[in-house]
């Protein structure tokens, strides 16, 4: 069930990180060059109802913190009145700069007055808030972090995620963006337990990198993916809904995608089209106007998630991640038919000497770089293990 609430009115802090749950090397995402750590809460027995109502907001943020906060406050009231327990805001909900450098000037820490105001808003309205794309102060005065902040209904910051993939592109039509010139890329994949299921937390341009969403679904058991965004008019028209529905289908997750919409200033315009999508790829929440300001509301049905995953068990044949740094390793795996279609493989390559006892793959590996090689998982309940042959060598079987 989905509802929409909209209007045509124009738009005029303490942090608590989650537990580190895995090693950096095991979560590297191509093409991002750095190792990635995973922040996630350990799975727990569910106490959730079979469904829960959520909302996604659409707005046109400007370079006025107070005006944007007033808009957010009104949208929170609409979401609460509709029975939503979680309201997701778009990227740059609190501020969109009119001039280069303005975002750096207003950037502040998560315990600053801007975020404290939103924490109070969540507490006073007894609603969880997903605040995607907050300008968090960076490690120096020349950089900020594009941070997705999740606040619970008591006004506490439950989790933060800094945007991993930065928007450095030449958009058709002559527009050039270089987000990395003033933004620090995040290093952490974040999944969070909540009353709305296990949330995978992302921001905007991350949407174009399916590896991140596959990690969230298959490594960290996400059920709902949060994608706050400010897609340009050109890229949004071409790719926005297609990418969102693809992420929902391939991960079998709900996707909540709150979007900026319309003209923020003379130079910047966002596409809009805020969506909520179910695990089958069906749009279950959409505003009636791509550019209207308001909220769309839908129910997260956990039985539907379970049903889709049970009837189409893609996790049993999912090639999770392959970090093969040597072509001979790939040739060995292919030559021995170690494919995702017929085996379950999880080989930890921690060094040449240790690998020598497990298989003959060691001779093809870089002697100086310890890696974790995840060839594939979840297939036919079979394992590839070391086996001693009569000639003394160890093979994968």
Residue position matching structure tokens 């907001």: 57
* Phi/psi of residue 361, nearest 5 degrees: -65, -25
CB atoms within 10 A of CB 305: 19
Distance of CA 247 to the CA centre of its chain: 10
CA angle 130, 275, 93 (to 5 degrees): 40
Residue with tokens 């379950």: 344
Pick the catalytic residue from 4, 85, 119, 163: 163
| Catalytic residue check, 91 | yes
Task: With beta carbons less than 8 A apart as the criterion, state whether 363 and 319 touch.
Answer: no
Which pair of tokens denotes residue 249?
């289908």
Contact 300, 52 (CB under 8 A): yes
User: What is the distance between the alpha carbons of residues 227 and 132, in angstroms, rounded to a whole number?
Assistant: 8
Residue among 80, 181, 190, 187 at smallest CA distance from 132: 190
- 17: part of which helix (H) or strand (E)? none
Measure the N-to-C terminal CA separation of the chain; round to a whole number of Å.
Answer: 49
Identify whether 267 is a catalytic site residue. no
Per annotation, catalytic residue among 4, 72, 91, 119: 91
Active site residue 204: yes
> 4, 88, 119, 204: which one is catalytic?
204
Chain centroid offset of residue 101 CA: 26
Provide the token pair at 149. Answer: 């902040």
Show which residues are catalytic. Answer: 91, 163, 204
């Amino acid at each position: 069930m989905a509802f929409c609430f909209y209007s045509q009115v124009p738009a005029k802090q303490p942090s608590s990180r989650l537990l580190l749950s895995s090693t950096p090397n095991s979560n590297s995402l191509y093409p991002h060059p750095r190792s990635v750590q995973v922040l996630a809460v350990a799975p727990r027995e569910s106490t959730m109802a079979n469904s829960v109502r959520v909302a996604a907001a659409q707005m046109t943020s400007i370079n006025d913190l107070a005006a944007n906060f007033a808009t957010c406050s009104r949208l929170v009231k609409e979401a609460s009145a509709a029975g939503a327990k979680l309201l997701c805001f778009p990227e740059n909900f609190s501020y969109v700069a009119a001039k280069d450098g303005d975002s750096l000037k207003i950037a502040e820490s998560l315990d600053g007055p801007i975020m404290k105001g939103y924490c109070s808003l969540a507490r006073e309205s007894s609603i969880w808030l997903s605040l995607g794309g907050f300008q968090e102060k960076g490690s120096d005065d020349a950089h900020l972090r594009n941070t997705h902040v999740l606040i619970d209904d008591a006004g506490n910051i439950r989790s933060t995620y800094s945007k991993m993939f930065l928007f450095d592109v030449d958009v058709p039509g002559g527009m050039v963006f270089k987000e990395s010139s003033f933004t620090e890329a995040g290093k952490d994949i974040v999944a969070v337990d909540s009353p709305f299921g296990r949330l995978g937390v992302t921001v905007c341009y991350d949407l174009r990198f399916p590896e991140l969403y596959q990690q969230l679904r298959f490594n960290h058991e996400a059920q709902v993916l949060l994608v706050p965004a400010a897609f340009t008019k050109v890229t949004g028209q071409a790719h926005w809904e297609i990418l969102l529905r693809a992420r929902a289908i391939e991960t079998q997750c709900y996707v909540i995608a709150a979007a900026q919409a319309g003209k923020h200033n003379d130079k910047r315009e966002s596409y809009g089209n805020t969506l909520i999508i179910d695990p089958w790829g069906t749009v279950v929440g959409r505003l009636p106007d791509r550019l209207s300001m308001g909220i769309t509301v839908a129910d997260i049905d956990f039985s539907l998630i379970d049903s889709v995953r049970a009837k189409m068990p893609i996790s049993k044949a999912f090639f999770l991640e392959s970090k093969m740094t040597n072509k001979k390793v790939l040739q060995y795996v292919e030559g021995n038919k170690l494919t995702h279609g017929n085996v379950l493989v999880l080989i930890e390559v921690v060094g040449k000497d240790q690998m020598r006892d497990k298989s003959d793959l060691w001779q093809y590996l870089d002697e100086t770089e310890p890696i974790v090689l995840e060839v594939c998982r979840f297939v036919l309940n079979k394992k590839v293990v070391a086996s001693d042959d009569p000639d003394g060598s160890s093979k994968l079987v």
